[in-house]
Amino acid sequence: MSESLAPVGLPRSRSGQTALEVCETAARRAGELVLGRFRTDVEVSLKGRANVVTDADLASERLILDYVTGEYPDFGVLSEESAPVAGASPYTWVVDPIDGTRNFAEGIPHFCIVVAIADGENVVAGVTYDPVRDEMFSAQQGAGAYLNGQAMRASDRQNIDDAILGFDLGYDFGQAKHLMEMVDGIWPQISGYRLMGSSALSIAYTAAGRIDLYAHHSLSSWDIASGVLLAQEAGARVLDRATLNNATLFSPGLIIANPALMDQFLAMTEGYTWRTM
């Protein structure tokens, strides 16, 4: 487990665990289920163009929600495959049972599980778990960010010429077109690009310093819940793409980088439609 203390204001669970421990346990259990279904005959349905859901997503979500709501029954729920549930508490579970479902369905070993707790628009604890590599990215407000229990930091690279930019296209194809125009326009002033098909895992990689910057225009709360906190606790700036204010759980677009790279990226991309639409 990571830190043993519960986030400020959060009580221990019914079984005596901290909130972060409950997040981690839920994600590990779901990860075991999902990994057991990987590269098997899963049922795949379309929610929209290029947006798929599998029966493994639904089973993972049921497992997570049954567990976390048993530990904290007063918390609300905001989960990708279910209707939102208001709770008696100010806190809300935010869950993505498989982020990177298209990768999962195609047999590509790059996907993750997100389990987080929000207080209003602020995430106070959360994890992103990669079951393929058994990597648990975890954070709680004010206590740092961790990878498998070891403290992690965002990239300290200072020159954008040497930086790697991660991004994903999402399901807003108009915005994605503008993103690609921006990416094309700033090449080769940046070292390289990574588009890996799981926004939550890419954000976790940015928090861990594996990617120097990350940009996306069309995300849901369950995509970013743990990632916003991971990156902030790892020392990165996490901005709402549209306002350039600090991002929250409900920011649809993000730009993430250390302060030096953020300033250079914003200057470099000034005037591009992707930044202003």
Can you give the pLDDT at residue 88? Answer: 86
Q: What is the pLDDT of residues 155-188, one digit of tens each?
A: 999 999 999 999 988 777 778 888 899 899 998 8
Q: Does 51 fall in a domain?
A: yes
Enter the tokens of residue 73: 């029954």
pLDDT at 2 over 60: no
State the residue for tokens 């929250």.
Answer: 248
Domain boundary among 128, 151, 174: 151
The verdict on 145 and 26 lying in the same domain is: yes
Distance CA(269)–CA(261), nearest Å, equals 12
Q: What is the pLDDT of residues 141-160, one digit of tens each?
A: 999 999 999 999 999 999 99
Please count the CA atoms within 13 angstroms of the CA of 37 that sit on its side-chain side.
Answer: 22
Can you give the pLDDT at residue 4? Answer: 44
The verdict on 40 and 134 lying in the same domain is: yes
Confidence band (pLDDT; 50, 70, 90) for 51?
low
pLDDT at 227 over 90: yes
Q: Does 2 fall in a domain?
A: no
Q: What mean pLDDT comes out for the span 227-232?
A: 97
Q: What mean pLDDT comes out for the span 84-88?
A: 87
Instruction: Specify the range with the lowest mean pLDDT, choosing from 37-46, 116-125, 130-139, 254-263.
Output: 37-46
CATH label of the domain that carries residue 82:
3.30.540.10
pLDDT at 1 over 50: no
The verdict on 28 and 95 lying in the same domain is: yes
Q: Does 5 fall in a domain?
A: no
CATH label of the domain that carries residue 218:
3.40.190.80
The verdict on 117 and 84 lying in the same domain is: yes
The verdict on 121 and 232 lying in the same domain is: no
The verdict on 47 and 119 lying in the same domain is: yes
The total of structural domains in the chain comes to 2
The verdict on 190 and 220 lying in the same domain is: yes
- Which of 36-45, 84-93, 158-167 has the largest mean confidence? 158-167
Q: What is the pLDDT of residues 194-217, one digit of tens each?
A: 999 999 999 999 999 999 999 999
Enter the tokens of residue 252: 């649809």
Q: Does 10 fall in a domain?
A: no
**52 or 140, which is more confident:** 140
Domain boundary among 130, 151, 172: 151
Distance CA(197)–CA(246), nearest Å, equals 24
Which residue type occupies 40? T
Q: Does 12 fall in a domain?
A: no
Q: What is the pLDDT of residues 12-34, one digit of tens each?
A: 999 989 999 999 999 999 999 99
Q: What mean pLDDT comes out for the span 58-72?
A: 97
The verdict on 52 and 144 lying in the same domain is: yes
Q: Which domain holds residue 168?
A: 160-276
Q: Does 183 fall in a domain?
A: yes
Domain boundary among 119, 151, 183: 151
Phi/psi region, residue 144 (left: phi>0; alpha: psi -120 to 50; beta: rest), is left
Can you give the pLDDT at residue 84? Answer: 83
Q: Does 11 fall in a domain?
A: no
The verdict on 247 and 131 lying in the same domain is: no
The verdict on 64 and 144 lying in the same domain is: yes
Q: What is the pLDDT of residues 5-16, one digit of tens each?
A: 445 568 899 998
Distance CA(236)–CA(212), nearest Å, equals 10
The verdict on 117 and 88 lying in the same domain is: yes
Average pLDDT taken over every residue of the chain:
92
The verdict on 184 and 264 lying in the same domain is: yes
Q: Does 216 fall in a domain?
A: yes
